[in-house]
Amino acid sequence: MNSFSMPAAVAHPLSNAGQILKQYTPESAFFFASPTRTLLAQGVHDMILETIGTDRGERLSDRITRVLAAQGRAGHGVPMAVGAVPFNSTSPAHLIVPKTIQSAGPLSAAADALRPQPQASLQTLRKVPEPRDYVRGVELAVGLMRNEALSKVVLSRMLEMTLREAVDLRAVLQRLSQQNRSGYTFAANLSDPMAGLSGSERGPSSRPRTLIGASPELLLSRSGLRVVANPLAGSAIRSPDPDEDRRRAIALLASEKDRHEHAIVVDAVAAALRPFCRHLSVPEEPSLTQTANLWHLSSRLTGELRDLSISSMRLAAALHPTPAVCGYPTERARAAIEALEPFDRGFFTGLVGWCDAAGDGEWAVVIRCADVAGRALRLYAGAGIVVGSEGQREFDETSAKLRTMLNALGLDQAPEIG
């Protein structure tokens, strides 16, 4: 296991990923567990609050490169930028260069020893929009696609709630790691030690504030010249009955509607990556991947970059937002989202991950997540809408997606959730 840090704040080496998870506290800057590694960042050397903007992330990527190069020249170990980027390209990213970074292998084996904590108790709940209004929104979106040049739009909903006690973030993170062995578990501290964030990005409360979740979807990873993207689109709710569960998986793989939705996403991701790649391999057919609650259609794209100057942040920004979280064409889908979603997504359907001074990194899509501030939190879920989508089925899909966070919070049996 590696431990990177500034000389004045050397972290004690940890023997495994489970110990890293136990070291996490709500004051920690950043936690990220992927199928290849586990990271824990503490303290703040520098902050990067740039937007992706209209240049597809060139300015943001350049800023990260300059900041990390300066930290390296100052002798601060192996610099790395970690954090989250919001859905809206005009809202600032929340990225930091931490004082210490502790690194270990994947968390999967370590998670077995973790113990769940007592369940949470719900005090207040607001559904945004109300279920009937979400179903109506799906119908309106399908109408737009029949009458306009719009192929897909992703419509989301939010649960805004207050618990009787503050969220135990470490316990939630432990549960998420147990549920999400092959995905991307994260906790990003969005509190700004230098200045408060303003506007809609403040979330349910100003400080402290944490973005926490367990995403099944890799937006992009880069290791040297090798790049990987793994979009997910097209879903089916799993069944506790093994035979029915298998039937649903087979039906999803054969579904013309879901394969069409998936192809829109894969084509867009491939088109965004090709200008940067010498070679790009795109699967001809989707495969199946699973979470505890859902089956997904999945395609793993692999490529070789033209040169090493193209960082993981630059690539991730060029892809963001994919049709998996926004729709297609992008600007028409954004307009539909603004018209039909009655809330600001904030960091939901944004990016979370890391980029080092060499340009390597991993960026996951911010889904299956919550924005937490003390006892107040917001949970989000969305569904891809195409011609042929049915409002109630899409609502049910979002309910299944919300179960990831509800289970981790111990609220999966709360009757008020519905």
* pLDDT level of residue 75 (50, 70, 90 thresholds): confident
Q: Which is catalytic among the residues 22, 148, 217, 397?
A: 217
pLDDT at 7: 33
From the list 5, 28, 81, the residue with the least C-alpha distance to 50 is 81
pLDDT at 214: 97
pLDDT in tens, 231-273: 999 999 999 999 999 999 999 999 999 999 999 999 999 999 9
* pLDDT level of residue 52 (50, 70, 90 thresholds): confident
Residue 381 counted as domain residue = yes
pLDDT at 191: 87
pLDDT at 114: 55
Residue 15 counted as domain residue = yes
Q: Of the ranges 94-98, 196-200, 301-305, 313-317, which one carries the lowest mean pLDDT score?
A: 196-200
Domain extent at residue 180 = 2-108+126-409
pTM: 0.91
Residue 121 counted as domain residue = no
pLDDT in tens, 102-153: 999 988 655 555 555 557 888 999 999 999 999 999 999 999 998 878 999 9
Residue 26 counted as domain residue = yes
Question: How many angstroms separate the CA atoms of 386 and 97, rounded?
Answer: 40
On the 0-12 / 13-18 / 19+ scale of CB atoms within 10 A, 113 is exposed
Residue 119 counted as domain residue = no
Residue-by-residue DSSP string for 108-123: TTGGGG--PPPPP-EE
Question: How many angstroms separate the CA atoms of 32 and 202, rounded?
Answer: 22
Q: Please count the structural domains in the chain.
A: 1
pLDDT at 417: 67
Q: Which is catalytic among the residues 50, 148, 152, 285?
A: 152
Give percent above pLDDT 70 in the chain. 88
Q: How far, in Å, are 114, 215, 277, 341 from residue 108 at the CA level? A: 11, 15, 32, 36
pLDDT at 121: 86
DSSP-assigned beta bridge partners for residue 221: 228, 362
pLDDT in tens, 348-388: 999 999 999 999 999 999 999 999 999 999 999 999 999 99
| Residue 187 CA from chain centroid, whole number | 10
Residue 417 counted as domain residue = no
* pLDDT level of residue 340 (50, 70, 90 thresholds): very high
pLDDT at 111: 54
* pLDDT level of residue 202 (50, 70, 90 thresholds): very low
What CATH number has the domain bearing residue 133? Answer: 3.60.120.10
| Residue 35 Ramachandran class (φ > 0 left, ψ -120 to 50 alpha, else beta) | alpha
Model confidence at 5: pLDDT above 50: no
Residue 224 counted as domain residue = yes
Question: 217 catalytic, yes or no?
Answer: yes
Q: Of the ranges 6-15, 236-245, 281-290, 388-397, which one carries the lowest mean pLDDT score?
A: 6-15
Residue-by-residue DSSP string for 267-303: HHHHHHHGGGEEEEE--SS-EEEE-SSEEEEE--EEE
**Which residues have a Cβ under 8 Å from the Cβ of 52 and sit 6 or more positions away?**
60, 85, 89, 93, 317, 320
Task: Look up residue 7 and give its DSSP letter.
Answer: G
Model confidence at 76: pLDDT above 70: no
pLDDT at 305: 98
Residues 186, 352 contacting (CB under 8 angstroms): yes
Residue 118 counted as domain residue = no
pLDDT at 204: 46
Residues 92, 47 contacting (CB under 8 angstroms): no
Give, in degrees to the nearest 5, the angle at Cα 230 between 227 and 235: 175
Average pLDDT, the chain: 89
